[in-house]
Amino acid sequence: MAGLFEIWVYLAEQPLLWLTITVGTYALAQWLFMRARRFPLLNPVLVAVTLTVLLLLATGTGYDTYFEGAQFVHFLLGPATVLLALPLYQQLQRLQRQWLPLGIALLVGSITAIASAVGIGHALGLTPSTLLSLMPKSATTPIAIGVAEKLGGEASLTAVFVIMAGIAGAVIGIPLMRLLGERDAAVKGFAMGVAGHGIATARAFQHSDQAGAYAGLGMGLNATLTALLAPLVAWLIGL
């Protein structure tokens, strides 16, 4: 047992340890997801996050230590988001015909995401700081954190809320659309992108390229609109 502890102490000092663990847990989660025939509750992000958090707790490792080793994954969020422009370009002709319904859906979805967060949070008795942290939960992580910090929220709380919203969108998005009788991949994807940002967008790509393209569009537009609407809503309700 002492030897195992010494090995862990040695590994914990290596800069690539947590990057390797992050990639490894996701690879394992993806394998489980495919073996289970894409069972929604075995969403790879949900499983990978759960495994990583359990390992952090078991080893007494703080988030700052983890992030220092795994921050390269965070860096890749930028290029990955930019690459979403490629499938969007392939849908350009259809998008040009749908700008009005997409614009209406975006506005309704963004307002609903912010208002529901504030309404439910207020009903649960959350503090103003927590409400401000929760407000941009459906925007992509970098923008959500920036908005929350400008409003006076807690960046760490916002990061948690964003991940929770994304996982929820990825897990229930497609089944919910099927339950509602929606068959259009574009509609499914756009709704998931607006509500669940990058995590739900990744799930939409697993459904189809068209769903993924529209999810990427919804994610990008909702991030921009959230950055504009969240301060206005905060001011209107006196936060």
What share of the chain in percent tops pLDDT 70?
89
- Residues 211-223 pLDDT 10s: 888 888 888 889 8
CA dihedral 79, 196, 103, 107 (to 10 degrees): -130
- Residues 116-133 pLDDT 10s: 888 888 888 888 888 888
Q: What pLDDT is stored for residue 8 in this prediction?
A: 46
Q: CA geometry: angle at 174 spanning 49 and 27, to 5°?
A: 30
